[in-house]
């Protein structure tokens, strides 16, 4: 019996795959070779989660991998109608990014409340200028996205004594439905976007929604860039409809040097790093190896994506 | 019966004192007039807590205020041997700054872990450069100063799942004595200085102590500038004995534009604002009015400073 073929779409080496020696024939592909190799693979590991090649290369018919795993929380970069309609199982890296992203959101919220960006600017100018900072305890946050990441953000903000409301696709205990979003955004001091990118969430933060926010409120996006109509956010910041924002994700990544987003008043720009803490590649590799063990033993996989909805459902 | 004379050492108006109309004859002094007016005051309110005038103006003998209140947590700026030896009661603003300072420390710890200063720098350069950030959960902090501020810092860091050790002058349940400090600093990822300035704490963070810290560790001072030998910290940062530091307080405040501290590698400088959140002047004013009500009714004051030790003892 020959070992299954594991095709890895990678841009840089993935740690921990050495543990699969003898258990898988590991081959590598890049965006240009993926289409040719896909029909010969039993399993596809999408390690280069910045690539959109899977969507384009997925075969309409004929042989294809039985299992696709992506080393990311979001699956928007690989889901296409053909993959969604097929019987191929898709899994994601659910669980790896929750706590780091929650800490990152707490860092941004506290930095904005304490006016740290201005403090750095003044330090560069060798200028001592006292300001009164904001208290975070007692403020209100609206967290959009009720998956593990959104729930971890809620826990982190609650630990800072922020009053939180969680919004998801389907109302449930402790989760508001989309119908409550405008009302919750209107009274929030912090609106945190942590939803998956789906047909329902594409462009959901638009001019109208920034318009319902308070002038003192701030917006944070750690989900996907396409959740936000970037021009609308720029207008909201420039016209001071809202007090500030922080974007870690963008419609087009990486941001190019000529992007206007680098220099919008009260906008913090970071390079899609909210979930990436030292050792994260190791954790992603170990997670895949664990899933591979289940797969080769014929046991049920974990983190199985609902391909119609575009995320792993349930708590 | 005439109302008592309340002398206010102020640089800017203090809110809420209007409530004492008819209950106190309010007079004002500045650094140059304080000495002449002190003998005629029943109560001294030190609202300009950046002034050191009380130490110099306090009368050696003769009439003097029976009560001195300072709108600050520290009392180092007013305690002199004559005041310490007198029967004048000294009270402070215990309780007002605890939570704001704890949030500020959490903001600095998270900002350093997530490399936010570098993110701002790169944003200014329109440069997209991903880095792996540090996870805060699971790190260790050593908080020096076991008063209400130090304890609030411990609570805030624990909420981020940081393992904390608290060091105070006197060992007690949950509080390490000074003898444990070197050992705790040696294994800490974060050393937080939040102690009062006393003879015992003056210059306690010196070259030897920075030398026991881990190269990956960072130091934060929200106590008093004189806790730290600034030259020793600059050396520790320049020679990379430690990974970073944040100072909110300094030996000489405000820092002048020619201070070398503005531009030390991996040092964050902020203008003594950690405890000052919007509305803080109001809270300080209300706190004094409340204490004044006790004093005029002959009831015991709260927040009474142990003038020998230099802080309010007990929990």
pLDDT, tens digit, for every residue of B76-97?
A: 999 999 999 999 999 999 999 9
Paired tokens of A159: 């630990």
Q: Delimit the domains of chain A by residue range.
A: 5-95+279-296, 98-269
Whether residue B12 has pLDDT greater than 80:
yes
Task: Give B-chain residues touching A128 at CB under 8 angstroms.
Answer: 253-255, 271
- Which residue reads 């014929």 in tokens? A298
Give B84→chain A minimum CA distance, Å: 31
Count Cβ atoms within 10 A of the Cβ of residue B36 and give its class: 0-12 exposed, 13-18 middle, 19 or more buried.
exposed
Instruction: List the single residue in A103, A122, A271 with the smallest CB-CB distance to B136.
Output: A103
Count Cβ atoms within 10 A of the Cβ of residue A314 and give its class: 0-12 exposed, 13-18 middle, 19 or more buried.
exposed
pLDDT, tens digit, for every residue of B191-229?
A: 999 999 999 999 999 999 999 999 999 999 999 999 999
- Secondary structure letter of residue B272 according to DSSP: S
Q: State the Cα–Cα distance between residues A262 and A270, nearest whole angstrom.
A: 9
Instruction: List the single residue in B119, B134, B277 with the smallest CB-CB distance to A278.
Output: B134
Average pLDDT of the residues in B1-14: 89
CATH 3.40.50.720, applies to A98-269: yes
ipTM: 0.95
What are the backbone angles phi and psi of residue A29, rounded to the nearest 5°? -140, 155
Task: Give B-chain residues touching A268 at CB under 8 angstroms.
Answer: 119-120, 123
Q: State the Cα–Cα distance between residues B226 and B252, nearest whole angstrom.
A: 9
pLDDT, tens digit, for every residue of B48-82?
A: 988 999 999 998 888 999 999 999 999 999 999 99
The CA-CA-CA angle for residues B169, B173, B175, to 5°, reads 35
- The pLDDT of residue A244: 98
Element (H, E) at A89: strand A89-91
- The pLDDT of residue A11: 82
- CA B224 to each of CA A144, A238, B175, B252: distance values in angstroms, whole numbers, following the listed order: 41, 39, 21, 10
Superfamily of domain B5-95+279-296: NAD(P)-binding Rossmann-like Domain (3.40.50.720)
User: Is A315 labeled as catalytic in the residue annotation?
Assistant: no
User: Is B253 labeled as catalytic in the residue annotation?
Assistant: yes
Fold match, A5-95+279-296 / A98-269: yes
Of B203, B210, B268, the closest CA to residue B242 belongs to B210
Catalytic residue among A272, A281, A296, A309: A272
**Per the CB < 8 Å rule, is A262 touching B135?**
no
Smallest CA–CA distance from B112 into chain A, residue: A107
Alpha helices per DSSP H over chain A: 34-37, 53-57, 81-85, 98-113, 116-124, 148-159, 181-186, 207-212, 230-238, 280-296
- The pLDDT of residue A13: 81
- The pLDDT of residue B60: 80
Of B225, B167, B175, the closest CA to residue B197 belongs to B225
**Per the CB < 8 Å rule, is A103 touching B137?**
yes
- Indicate yes or no: pTM above 0.80: yes
- The pLDDT of residue B1: 65
Across chain B, mean pLDDT equals 96
Q: State the Cα–Cα distance between residues B18 and A296, nearest whole angstrom.
A: 78
Q: State the Cα–Cα distance between residues B23 and B13, nearest whole angstrom.
A: 19
- The pLDDT of residue B314: 81
- The pLDDT of residue A304: 97
User: Is B187 labeled as catalytic in the residue annotation?
Assistant: no
Catalytic residue among A131, A253, A290, A299: A253
Element (H, E) at A29: strand A25-29
**Per the CB < 8 Å rule, is B273 touching A134?**
no
Average pLDDT of the residues in B266-276: 97
Whether residue B126 has pLDDT greater than 70:
yes
The sign of the torsion formed by the CA atoms of A92, A98, A104, A110 equals positive
Give B297→chain A minimum CA distance, Å: 34
pLDDT, tens digit, for every residue of B283-299?
A: 999 999 999 999 999 99
| Interface residue of B133, B220, B276 to substitute, partner A, most A CBs within 10 Å | B133
Q: What percent of chain B has pLDDT over 90?
A: 94
Smallest CA–CA distance from A129 into chain B, residue: B271
Element (H, E) at A45: strand A43-46
| Count of C-beta atoms within a 10 Å radius of residue B274 | 27
Where are the extended beta strands (E) located within chain B? 5-9, 25-29, 43-46, 67-70, 89-91, 140-144, 163-167, 190-193, 218-221, 244-247, 267-269
Please answer whether residues B88 and B66 qualify as being in contact, where contact means their C-beta atoms are separated by less than 8 angstroms.
yes
Which segments in chain A show pLDDT lower than 50? none
**Per the CB < 8 Å rule, is B123 touching A280?**
no
**With the CA atoms of A203, A206, A210 and A212 taken in that order, what torsion angle do they form, in degrees rounded to the nearest 10?**
-100
Query: Cα A221 vs. chain centroid, distance in angstroms?
Result: 9
Task: Give A-chain residues touching B280 at CB under 8 angstroms.
Answer: 132
- The pLDDT of residue A1: 65
Please answer whether residues B261 and B234 qualify as being in contact, where contact means their C-beta atoms are separated by less than 8 angstroms.
yes
Beta pairing partners, B67: B43, B89
pLDDT-derived band at B167, boundaries 50, 70, 90: very high
Of A308, A311, A315, A247, the closest CA to residue A73 belongs to A311
């Amino acid at each position: 019996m020959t070992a299954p073929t594991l095709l890895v779409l990678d841009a840089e080496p993935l740690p921990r795959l050495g543990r699969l020696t003898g258990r898988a024939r590991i081959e590598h592909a890049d965006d240009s070779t993926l289409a040719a190799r896909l029909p010969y693979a039993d399993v596809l590991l999408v390690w280069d989660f910045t690539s959109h090649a899977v969507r384009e290369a997925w075969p309409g018919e004929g042989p294809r991998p039985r299992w696709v795993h992506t080393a990311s929380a979001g699956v928007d970069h690989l889901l296409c109608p053909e993959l969604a309609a097929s019987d191929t199982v898709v899994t994601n890296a659910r669980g790896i990014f929750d706590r780091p992203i929650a800490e990152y959101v707490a860092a941004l919220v506290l930095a904005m409340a304490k006016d740290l960006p201005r403090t750095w600017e003044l330090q560069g100018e060798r200028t001592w200028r006292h300001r009164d900072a904001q208290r975070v305890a007692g403020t209100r946050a609206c967290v959009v996205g009720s998956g593990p990441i959104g729930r971890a953000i809620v826990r982190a903000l609650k630990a800072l004594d922020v009053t939180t409301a969680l919004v998801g696709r389907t109302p449930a205990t402790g989760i508001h439905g989309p119908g409550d979003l405008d009302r919750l955004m209107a009274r929030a001091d912090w609106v945190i976007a942590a939803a998956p990118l789906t047909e329902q969430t594409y462009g959901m933060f638009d001019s109208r929604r920034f318009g319902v926010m308070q002038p003192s409120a701030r917006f944070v996006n750690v989900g996907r860039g396409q959740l936000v109509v970037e021009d609308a956010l720029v207008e909201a910041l420039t016209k001071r409809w809202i007090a500030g924002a922080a974007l870690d994700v963008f419609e087009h990544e990486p941001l190019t040097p000529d992007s206007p987003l680098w220099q919008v008043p009260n906008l913090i720009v970071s390079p899609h790093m909210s979930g990436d803490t030292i050792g994260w590649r190791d954790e992603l590799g170990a997670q895949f190896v664990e899933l591979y063990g289940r797969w080769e033993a014929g046991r049920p996989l974990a983190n199985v994506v609902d391909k119609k909805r575009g995320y792993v459902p349930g708590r």
